[in-house]
Structure 1
Amino acid sequence: MASLKETPRQKMIGMMYLVLTALLALQVSDALLQKFTLLNNSLEIANQSASSKNKSMVTGIEDRIKDLPNPAAYSDILKKANEVRKLSDELVNHIDGLKSKVIETGGGIDPETGTIKNPKEEEKVFELMVGANSKGEAYRLVPMFDQYVTKLQSIADPGTKFPSLALAAKDDPVASRDAAQSNKDFAELNFEHTPVPAALATLSQKQAEIRRYETEVLSQLASKVGAKEIKFDKVFAQVSANANTVVAGMEYQAEVFIAATSSGFTPRMSFNGASIPVVDGRGQIKFKTSGGGYDANGLSKKTYTATVAYMSPAGPKTESIQKEYFVLKPTYNIETATLPALYLGCANRLSVVSPGLGALWNPQFSAEGGEVIPGQNRGKVTVVPSSATITLNVNNGGTLLGKETFKVRRVPRPDVRIFGNGGELNEKKGTSASGLRTLDARAIADESFKATNPEDANYRVAQVYVALVRGQRKIDEIANLPGSGSIAKLASQAQPGDRYYIEVKEVQRKNFKGTIETIPVSMVKNIPLSD
């Protein structure tokens, strides 16, 4: 039986899957939702890279066949390669459609923040993917996965065995060890009690497996025509620099590499005639830059020569590349945790530095579209935007060095939650009619906003309306409860079967200046009461 050879990228994706499966077996906390989003983003980037590589592999097979003495004899290999691509693309595209539906269960994408409106949504994900009587989308995936694996194995080399893409918990290496998970089927294991970002990451991981299987079969087909990699007659040398413009006195770094290389040889590379180390087929260039000879724009044009010697299909070959770069007179850099966008009406702390000017650096700032507050140290400034964009003017010694324009974001609205009896009140579970004596309404700041602008992320619930309702009849009410307080007068009348109608009327935010503003908010909860 042939085993799948995994590249480092594929091993990384496999490790991501193990982590994902382990996390899904836990009661996922709010703090992990962002991690799931980052995991899904990483998987999607890796999947795009794998798709591009596989497409290039098919092109390499086609080009190689054209150069063979009898191309017609290998037409079936190209046909199979195209079939593998088609099967994989169709299944990946179908999963993309499911991911769009999953995003919709979370309310879609917020146009202001670019994030999912309700990433915590689990019930709608369950309804979509698992559903009643095992009729959810995840169950429809199982035969599609099985059919895909079967077709790929019929094209692959004899003995190739691809693991199932729809493992039940008892067959999963992680979930099978958990007594609470081991009896679940594929759909329940992956999409029960699963928030939106986790469901997206699960589907992206399945797409990664599909691309991995596709790569394996295409590699087998490519090896049959001697085109396991893109053919070497199109090899070219290239220099990749971190930057073409650097400040005098700073290090210049670049890589010299060939676009397609082989593990069978290591190219020899040099910089201005001197050998340089080659790591994974890429030459490492590093040297100190020198200034002088600046033009009217403060630029000094420089060049160097890189040489690459490698084995081409026609034999040994050497190519030389002359690379041009520019040395720039010392200027400034802006450092801030909130770039590239700032928050409206908030204290956005910036640090503007100029290593090249050193002791001569003593900047002054002004702004268009907001105000600036100078800091105590040189280069420190607080920018407070009042419009959709703000332009920061940077001056030093009476000379305007530049203008920096920033986009401005609106402050994200807080998440309002209601607490009582030592925990958050739940509309499904309800609470005790006799035990709930106080309410605590909390406005919780967006995590990323709080991290970058803590002085502006101070929220409080200012007014809450609470009513005791029996059936359709209101028994009593508290019209102006502050963010937290006693509801004893309602609790004394409450009976099992009643409910508390809770409406948040007003939320306030205190900014870095101590100014308080009212935040538009609309939230209603109905908390059922029991014994």
Structure 2
Amino acid sequence: MASLKETPRQKMIGMMYLVLTALLALQVSDALLQKFTILNSSLEIANQSATSKNRGMVQGIEERIKDLPNPDAYADVVKRANEVRRLADALVNHLDALKNQILEAGGGIDPETGNIKNPKEEEKVFTLMVGAGKSGEAYKLESMFSQYVKDLEKLADPGTKFPSLANDAKSDPIASKDANQANKDFAELNFAQTPVPAAMATISQKQAEVRRYESDVLAQLAAKVGAKEIKFDKVFAQVSANANTVVAGMEYQAEVFIAATSSGFTPRMSFNGSSIPVIDGRGQIKFKTSGGGFDANGLSKKTYTASVSYMSPLGPKTETIQKEYFVLKPTYNIETATLPALYLGCANRLSVASPGLGALWNPSFSADGGEAIGGQNRGKVTIVPSAATVTLNIANGGTLLGKETFRVRRVPRPEVRVFGNGGELDEKRGASASGLRSIDARAIADESFKSTNPEDANFRVSELYVALARGQRKIDDITLQGSGSIAKLAAQAQAGDRYYIEIKGVQRKNFKGAVETIPFTMAKNIPLN
């Protein structure tokens, strides 16, 4: 979309329109009506100046073409310029006729005072412009404004867009915030409860916008033939380097020079044949590099073509530049000596680094056979496998760099040890019949697993069965949740008896806080003495 800059005069007219909109929301007084009359006169003077300027721009285009080597080649430019003038003149003339009708609704001009006879007239203005059932002239204006903008954009440079000339209250920065105005359409907003001078000033403002749009397109056409005066008013220093990345010990080479652009001239620029945006006279090239064809050093030689088209004193001219660049094959390292085996259903944390990409390293991960969870820091990833193997897909900037496949092993079973009164119970040594009052069964994680996956190495015995036996006869029993008191058994215990201890359940809590039951069976017989 083209960017159309406003001149100070155009900004002033826009500000006057905002003031006009605000004044319409106020109670109208004689003094205020006089201000509207003055405002309308100022707008009409500005519009006359714009009309003369635009007429001069068309004449300047025609004169410039006569001096070019091949005038016939620019016939289309002259045709478009005249069509722009015709469209604007036709719409402005129609608006002049509407202003005359509004003036007549106010009784015309008093020959003695030179003022409008009945400036406060609102009803006749409403009937003319809004009408019953939306039959007024303002609704016809909406379609005319819309068609004018469409026709003008066809004559302008590709991508040029003009704002609507018939905004309703919702699109107006002031009226949209007023509850009494917010739901009004274009006609009601501008011409309902509107006295004669205010209605005339509103139409004059629209004429100013029409002339501004006309001026913008004529300026574009003038630039095509060099009729628009070009001043290189933006001078800056520029550095052109052979390479932005060098290896330590290599020479860095660059050229420093002065460059200049013009804020009043926008050349056409392209990249590989496609047009590119131009900001402050400088084309903006941005594209995602592609790999392939890497040499033994991991480099791939690439080229692109840029062109600049502008109007020279001898006519249109295009400069073409072919630029060479190199693409470095992206590499990465998984920060571990060897690819580790991962544990099923656990948080396996890895760090993936790419020294070659430096600040451009911003990887994303996905996994086949599991889940890949990106960390807060770049390159950190947590893999949660759900299959016998898991493949980690490593991408950077949407480009897949590689795949790494890991073996998946099951979580090693914990070792369960049984303690009584704080000390570990031994089947050979036994325990005191009267002194053993509590039992604690502990599920202890494998040391290797615990060191690599501490968040998943949380085991506990969930069910513990203890029976007091005398010979082949069971005296009593109790079931505990991993640990607890066996005082009721100890009260019946005698030397020569034994405790039969069976582990019936073990559980593990993973890094997400989820608890799973692990099939586990173990029994001990502890003799009592």
> TM-score, normalized by length of structure 1?
0.43
> Which protein is bigger by CA-based radius of gyration?
2
> TM-score, normalized by length of structure 2?
0.43
